[in-house]
Amino acid sequence: MDYRLFDLTGRRALITGSSQGIGLALAHGLAAAGAQVVLNGRDAARLATAAAGLPGAETLAFDATDHAAVRAAIDGFEASGRPIDILVNNAGIQHRAPLEDFPAEAFERLLQTNIASVFHVGQAVARHMIARGRGKIINIASVQTALARPSIAPYTATKGAVGNLTKGMATDWARHGLNCNAIAPGYFDTPLNAALVADPAFSAWLEKRTPAGRWGKVEELQGACIFLASDAASFVNGHILYVDGGITASL
């Protein structure tokens, strides 16, 4: 096998929501595979701190939920002669509450951050990729793309939508040379899951429920991302790759 298929040297990757957690871990993985990485978030100071720990990283601050701001930032970046070859739509939030009491404003925030941002950034970047006839888009879905748990029904709805939007992107854009896929993480030890990680009862349940018997480490998502961003996945399109320790495979 020619392992150069996984080499990302000479390619530029934009990762949304990458000042911490899964996004930052994926940025490190893509950089290790040779990519020039561009970190994104709304807080320029936090981005600068994250970039300081990743030699050669660039930053591009914008609000992924603001369509006009996204378009201006992406078009301006591309106009500077720095094409975005790989997009990882990672920005996301969580809110937990019983569905009958779920705040409407929290539901709207979930829709904007978890779904609309994928559309806004995906569309803005894809327009340039289509013109070049190539590009890789990787959306971060979730184990909740396929499964539900109490108190997170709206989050589950948003991640289900990310899965189907990924399929729609592939259906529209594969003919233009784009590969559009998703990674669906299971339960990982991240800032978003800090409250669950700190809950002994939940951790005990998770270890019993997951065939691998443990929380995932964010670094364990890097291989899947490198694969989908590389030439090794040249005929993979509209796929949702679950990286979950087997949780979706087992009752």
Catalytic residue among 3, 155, 187, 242: 155
- Annotated active-site residue 187? The verdict is no
How big is the CA angle at 126 (ends 10 and 179), to the nearest 5 degrees? 70
DSSP states of the chain: --GGGG--TT-EEEETT-SSHHHHHHHHHHHHTTPEEEEEES-HHHHHHHHHTSTT-EEEE--TT-HHHHHHHHHHHHHTT----EEEE---------GGG--HHHHHHHIIIIIIHHHHHHHHHHHHHHHHT-EEEEEE--GGGT---TT-HHHHHHHHHHHHHHHHHHHHHGGGTEEEEEEEE-SB-SGGGHHHHT-HHHHHHHHHHSTT-SPBPGGGGHHHHHHHHSGGGTT--S-EEEESTTGGG--
Give a three-class secondary structure readout of 113-144. HHHHHHHHHHHHHHHHHHHHCCEEEEEECCHH
Residues known to be catalytic: 155
